[in-house]
Amino acid sequence: MTRTVLLALDTSTEFCSVALLLADSASAPAQSAVAPHYVNGDTRVWFRHEATGAVSSTRLLPAVRELFDDAGLALADCAAIAFGAGPGSFTGLRTATGVAQGLAFGLSVPVVPVSTLLACAEAARLRDAAIAPRVLAALDARMDEVYWADFEFDAASGDWRTLHSAALDAPGALPLPDVPFALAGNAAAAFGDRLPAVAAAAQVDREALPHALPVALIGLRAFQAGKAVAPELAAPEYVRDKVAQTTAERMQAREEALR
């Protein structure tokens, strides 16, 4: 494995999440000022994950600069930029996409769009290596709906297979896998018993959420597999086509939630 430096961004939630990954088979360690937060073999990752609310856009670039300083690396060392493409906060998705695209154009490097739902599945595996290989990732989509996707980890390839891509449904409409599975994401906390997957899951990880660390690890595998794309192809994955509800729709949703 040759040296690869990858920057990862995620602002799909109320967190500003940035990670800098160094994969290097050379024996000499990077001359970093700060120890990496994550080390696995030849892969080291430094990250910032800060609750910034609606001001992620103002914190994103300063956090990037801080990570490069921590790692003793330069922005020009980057081989690719991964970003949380969605689903998630519409404003946040546009922020991460725009910054990733702008940096990639400036550096003449490709981008790696990463599903935030896949990031939840990866986060669950990072938190518990013994978790079921089948993972149903589900995030609170507001408006009494759930973003979800179905993944399976293939131990032979060391990567995920997507069994059902990102979708949007009512909590009770999520199809349940017919094999033991883990449920990852905050939909379990948001909907409780209204989400049948909570009772059906072998494991439930409510803390497995979008984060730049899993985005970086997924991004590295995709980059090494030749799945990066040109910066002009970077785009958010909104999933929900309709951004706002009418007053009548909001009232109806509120009434249904109270039943």
Please give the pLDDT value at position 244. Answer: 43
Q: Which of 141, 208, 201 is nearest to 171 (CA)?
A: 141
Task: Output Rg (C-alpha) for the chain, integer angstroms.
Answer: 18
Average pLDDT estimate for 224-250:
79
When pLDDT is cut at 50, 70 and 90, the band that residue 254 belongs to is very low
Compute the distance between CA of residue 60 and CA of residue 51 in angstroms, rounded to an integer: 12
Please give the pLDDT value at position 252. Answer: 54
Pick the CATH number of 117-205 from 3.40.50.12780, 3.40.50.620, 2.40.50.140, 3.30.420.40: 3.30.420.40
Compute the distance between CA of residue 20 and CA of residue 137 in angstroms, rounded to an integer: 24
Encode pLDDT of 143-188 as tens digits.
999 999 999 999 999 999 999 999 999 999 999 999 999 999 999 9
Please tell me the least confidently modeled range out of 49-63, 216-230, 244-258.
244-258
- Supply angle C-alpha 257, 140, 158, rounded to 5: 150
Please give the pLDDT value at position 1. Answer: 54
- Please indicate whether the domains covering 4-115+210-233 and 117-205 agree at the CATH topology level: yes
**Average pLDDT of the residues of the chain:** 92
Share of the chain above pLDDT 90, in %: 86
When pLDDT is cut at 50, 70 and 90, the band that residue 258 belongs to is very low
Q: How far is CA 127 from the centre of its chain?
A: 14
Question: 4-115+210-233 adopts what CATH topology?
Answer: Nucleotidyltransferase; domain 5 (3.30.420)
Residue boundaries of the structural domains of the chain:
4-115+210-233, 117-205
Please give the pLDDT value at position 32. Answer: 87
Please give the pLDDT value at position 56. Answer: 85
Encode pLDDT of 55-100 as tens digits.
788 999 999 999 999 999 999 999 999 999 999 999 999 999 999 9
Q: Which of 209, 179, 220 is nearest to 24 (CA)?
A: 220
Encode pLDDT of 9-62 as tens digits.
999 999 999 999 999 966 455 578 899 999 999 999 999 999 998 778 899 999
pTM (2 decimals)? 0.91
For 193, residues 6+ apart whose C-beta sits below 8 A from its C-beta are 199
Share of the chain above pLDDT 70, in %: 90
Q: What token pair was written down for 122?
A: 């990866």
